[in-house]
């Protein structure tokens, strides 16, 4: 059997009711929500399970909600004896990966991502920045389009998710123009994203700086599991690099496709997406159809994953 990677959901995967079955059926999961609530000063389980979509979509709520749900599910995998050889997470999901590697304490992570969400939301005034997904163009085409609209304003690649899916971010006017040019260049689909700021672009530098200050008070321990970084698409070799990578990650492109390819090259043939939604599973199928891609967001998908893993072992 090859290696197993746990990959963790990022922002955008949130929905009302996420984590409900784990919270209600497993003491270990409930405990994670309670620990998070203590740090945050409000009932995060209630927000995840009963909160409105509008409430959950506020970045400073989204980030601790997804992190807590992901770690609550991770606890059950530990209980079932399912272990990863390597971990990674998309953007916000990288914090869940660091918790899984035991280099970042869960309580520290919850507090950090709430502040990260707040700083990201505040970095760019509402309406000044936006993001768009470009489907069906390659990286060079999209880079050229971003270059062509530079006179209007900032436009940069923020996510390289999977073949044919690239996300751009920047100033609203330049992104709208880049969307037009992408359609003219033959993009199959161009979708403006419902986000509060142009994440993973240079416009997020104020958030990056504030996060850097915050990270000075955080203890990073030795990594017990290899973590693949969004910024480098390579392993975090030294715990002393974690803070710098997390600081850069807010304003640099997320190299997700390359991160997955790196893990496959090193023998990973089974990926388990942990947390709300199954977006990463979809990306994986576009990156390499030969690998097994599973996800766990509720008890049904947990049982399905366990069955599949048993099949692979047999």
119 confidence band (pLDDT: 50, 70, 90): very high
Question: What confidence tens digit (pLDDT) does each residue in 64-97 have?
Answer: 999 999 999 999 999 999 999 999 999 999 999 9
Q: In what order do the strands lie in the sheet with 165-171?
A: 155-162, 165-171, 129-135, 189-192
249 confidence band (pLDDT: 50, 70, 90): very high
Q: Number of structural domains, the chain?
A: 2
Same domain, 98 and 21: yes
Residue 1 confidence (pLDDT): 66
Find the CATH number of the domain harbouring 40: 3.40.366.10
127 confidence band (pLDDT: 50, 70, 90): confident
Domain C-terminal end among 195, 211, 234:
195
> Could you list the residue range(s) of the whole structural domain that residue 96 is in?
3-123+203-313
Average pLDDT over residues 144-151: 97
- Which pair of tokens denotes residue 218? 């955080």
Tell me if the pTM is above 0.85.
yes
Same domain, 14 and 109: yes
Residue 12 confidence (pLDDT): 87
Same domain, 224 and 308: yes
Find the CATH number of the domain harbouring 147: 3.30.70.250
| For residue 314, pLDDT beyond 70 | no
Cα–Cα distance list, 120 to 35, 107, 232 (Å): 24, 20, 21
Residue 237 confidence (pLDDT): 87
225 confidence band (pLDDT: 50, 70, 90): very high
| For residue 140, pLDDT beyond 90 | yes
Same domain, 96 and 163: no
Question: What confidence tens digit (pLDDT) does each residue in 179-211 have?
Answer: 999 999 999 999 999 887 899 999 999 999 999
216 confidence band (pLDDT: 50, 70, 90): very high
CA angle 216, 211, 60 (to 5 degrees): 130
Which residue numbers are catalytic?
91, 200
Average pLDDT over residues 9-32: 96
Mean pLDDT score of the chain, rounded to an integer?
96
Same domain, 248 and 144: no
Main-chain dihedrals φ then ψ at residue 37, nearest 5 degrees: -60, -40
Same domain, 103 and 140: no
- Which pair of tokens denotes residue 184? 């003219």
Residue 146 confidence (pLDDT): 98
Dihedral class, residue 53 (left if φ above 0, else alpha if ψ from -120 to 50, else beta): alpha
Question: What confidence tens digit (pLDDT) does each residue in 252-304 have?
Answer: 999 999 999 999 999 999 999 999 999 999 999 999 999 999 999 999 999 99
- Which pair of tokens denotes residue 97? 């990966």
| For residue 48, pLDDT beyond 80 | yes
DSSP 207-253: HHHHHHHHHTT---PPPSS-BB-TTTSSB---GGGHHHHHHHHTTS-
């Amino acid at each position: 059997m090859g290696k197993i990677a746990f990959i963790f959901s990022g922002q955008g995967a949130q929905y009302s009711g996420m984590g409900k079955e784990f919270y209600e059926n497993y003491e270990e999961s409930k405990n994670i929500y309670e620990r998070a609530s203590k740090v945050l000063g409000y009932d995060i389980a209630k927000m995840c399970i009963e909160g409105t979509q509008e409430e959950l979509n506020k970045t400073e709520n989204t980030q601790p909600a997804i992190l807590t749900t992901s770690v609550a599910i991770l606890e059950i995998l530990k209980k079932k004896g399912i272990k990863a050889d390597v971990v990674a997470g998309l953007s916000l999901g990288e914090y869940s990966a660091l918790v899984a590697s035991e280099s970042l304490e869960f309580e520290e992570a919850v507090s950090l991502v709430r502040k990260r969400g707040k700083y990201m939301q505040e970095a760019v005034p509402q309406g000044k920045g936006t993001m768009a997904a470009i489907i069906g163009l390659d990286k060079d085409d999209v880079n050229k389009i971003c270059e062509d609209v530079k006179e209007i304003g900032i436009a940069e690649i923020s996510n390289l998710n999977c073949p044919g899916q690239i996300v751009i971010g920047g100033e609203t006017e330049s992104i709208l123009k880049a969307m037009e040019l992408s359609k003219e260049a033959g993009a199959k689909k161009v979708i403006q994203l419902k986000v509060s700021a142009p994440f993973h672009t240079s416009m997020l530098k104020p958030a990056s700086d504030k996060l850097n200050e915050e990270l000075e008070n955080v203890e990073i321990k030795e990594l017990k599991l290899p973590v693949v970084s969004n910024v480098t698409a390579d392993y975090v070799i030294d715990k002393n690099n974690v803070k710098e990578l997390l600081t850069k990650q807010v304003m640099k492109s997320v190299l997700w496709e390359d991160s997955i390819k790196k893990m496959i090259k090193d023998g990973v043939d089974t990926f388990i997406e942990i947390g709300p939604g199954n977006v990463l599973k979809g990306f994986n199928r576009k990156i390499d159809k030969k690998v097994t891609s599973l996800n766990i967001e509720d008890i049904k998908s947990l049982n399905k994953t366990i069955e599949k893993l048993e099949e692979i072992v047999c």
